[in-house]
Amino acid sequence: MEQNFVYDLIGENLIGYVIVAAMPLMFVLVYALVAILGELKISAWIQERLGPMRTGWKGVLQPIAEVVKLLQKEDITPANVNKPLFNVAPFIMFTGAYAAYAVIPFSSVFVPSGINIGLFYVFAVSAFAIIGIVMGGWASNNKYSLLGAMRAAAQMISYEIPIAIAILAVATLAGSLDMQEIIKQQAGGIWNWFLFGGTGSIAKVWVIPFTFALFLIYFIGSLAETNRVPFDIPEGESEIVAGYHTEYSGMKFAMFFFAEYSNMFVVSAIITILFLGGWQSPFGDFMNGPVWQSIWFISKAMFFVFVQIWLRWTLPRLRVDQLMYVTWKVMLPVAFVAFFAVAFWAMIK
């Protein structure tokens, strides 16, 4: 159904499928290096430091040095851990983090797997991270790890509900769970994005506060899903050392780390798709070719990655009870009210 430019070039055969499956991998590896450098440099600028300066021009080779360093680290498996689970957990995190890229459309002519339940698939795959965290934390047989894993699981499942409702509201607006279809419905410039209620007459202005609320709920929830500040309680170093990955070292630690950065892009991409028109140009048909689309998509998503890094170095950490208060007593009712309004609008329009 979806056209994919790779299939036009080589045909829809096994080689084509493998190339399509490998392309996001190239993107993820480059993105991870950029994100690590971004984290180091942005944190430095926020704190009026220079950040890494010695590896390459102004320290741009720092992330590569970090990867080499992590590869050379000793992989320690503590004596008291549950070895099978301890070793499998990072693989689950890593595979789950990469699997979400399968349905992210980078352009109108490229989506790795154009399945018609893309949104639902992302929602399902994001649960991989919870399993990986609980598995790793419990198997470590360390009190910090266990507490960190339990907190992470409680936090992630709690915030998944408002997120699911925000996704549901967009599904009612778009009438589809297909990523490409959702983006196509937001064609025609910034005013038609689901952040502003989607396409429709001027009568849609009353629904804009509700879509905006859902956008904020999704963004806040996604911060909690990726365990980023202000929701990094599972890794709160002042209380529980490093949380669920306390006992991990070397490459296994790097996999948890990589999964976090990878998930940062996934949630940013989903925000972009759901509310900011995905690969649609903000100016309607102006600057809206297949290449422009991927530039728009990646810039919008990277903007949200930047906001996440920015927040990390700006906000303090919440307490566990505050965290649970926010999701169960504020975000859940607000999300349902906003969902009611948006579903009503989707039905009458």
Partner 1 sequence: MIETYLPLIIMLVFGFGIAVVFMLLSEWLGARRFTPGKVSTYESGMPPRGTARERFSVKFYMIAVSFIVFDVEVVFMYPWAVQLGTLGISAFIAMMFFIAILFAGYFWELRKGGLDWD
Residues 183-242 binding partner 1 (CB under 8 A) are 241
Q: How far apart are the first and last CA of the chain?
A: 27
What residues from 143 to 162 belong to the interface with partner 1 (CB under 8 A)? 143-146, 150-151, 153-154, 157-158, 160-161
Q: Which is nearer to partner 1, 309 or 326 (CB)?
A: 326
CB of 24 to partner 1, least distance (A): 7
Contacts of 184 (CB under 8 A, 6+ apart): 108
Residue type, 311: L
Q: Which is nearer to partner 1, 37 or 346 (CB)?
A: 346
What residues from 249 to 278 belong to the interface with partner 1 (CB under 8 A)? 250-252, 254-255
What residues from 294 to 323 belong to the interface with partner 1 (CB under 8 A)? 320-321
CB of 302 to partner 1, least distance (A): 22
Indicate whether 290 belongs to the interface with partner 1 (CB under 8 A). Answer: no
Burial class (CB in 10 A: 0-12, 13-18, 19+), 72: exposed
CB of 152 to partner 1, least distance (A): 11
Q: Is 300 left (phi over 0), alpha (psi -120 to 50) or beta?
A: alpha
Region near partner 1 per CB under 8 A, out of 16-24, 37-45, 208-216, 308-316: 16-24
Applying CB under 8 A, what is the total number of residues that bind partner 1? 85
Q: How far apart are CA 177 and CA 165, in angstroms?
A: 13
CB 268 within 8 A of CB 301: yes
In this chain, which of 126, 142, 192, 308 binds partner 1, going by CB under 8 A? 142
CB 90 within 8 A of CB 256: yes
Q: How far apart are CA 96 and CA 102, in angstroms?
A: 11
Indicate whether 37 belongs to the interface with partner 1 (CB under 8 A). Answer: no
Instruction: Please report, for residues 132, 162, 216, 218, 268, the alpha-carbon distance to residue 342 in angstroms, rounded to integers and kept in the order given.
Output: 34, 14, 15, 15, 22
In this chain, which of 31, 94, 196, 218 binds partner 1, going by CB under 8 A? 94
Indicate whether 46 belongs to the interface with partner 1 (CB under 8 A). Answer: no
If DSSP codes are grouped into helix, strand and coil, which group holds residue 230? coil
- Reading the block at residue 217, the tokens are 């709920």
Region near partner 1 per CB under 8 A, out of 48-56, 109-117, 187-195, 207-215: 109-117
Region near partner 1 per CB under 8 A, out of 73-81, 207-215, 265-273, 293-301: 73-81
Q: Which is nearer to partner 1, 153 or 301 (CB)?
A: 153
Block residue for tokens 């595979």: 95
Indicate whether 326 belongs to the interface with partner 1 (CB under 8 A). Answer: no
CB of 306 to partner 1, least distance (A): 25
Q: Which is nearer to partner 1, 170 or 309 (CB)?
A: 170
Indicate whether 343 belongs to the interface with partner 1 (CB under 8 A). Answer: yes
In this chain, which of 73, 205, 208, 287 binds partner 1, going by CB under 8 A? 73
In this chain, which of 108, 180, 246, 268 binds partner 1, going by CB under 8 A? 246
- Reading the block at residue 238, the tokens are 């002042």
CB of 171 to partner 1, least distance (A): 4
- Reading the block at residue 91, the tokens are 């693989």
Indicate whether 75 belongs to the interface with partner 1 (CB under 8 A). Answer: yes
Q: How far apart are CA 49 and CA 55, in angstroms?
A: 16
Stretch (H or E) spanning 85? helix 83-99
Query: What does the buried/exposed string (b/e) look like for 276-297 if buried means 16 or more CB atoms within 10 Å of the residue's CB?
Result: bbbbbbeeeeeebeeeebbebb
Indicate whether 80 belongs to the interface with partner 1 (CB under 8 A). Answer: yes
CB of 51 to partner 1, least distance (A): 26
CB 327 within 8 A of CB 158: yes
Q: Which is nearer to partner 1, 22 or 208 (CB)?
A: 22
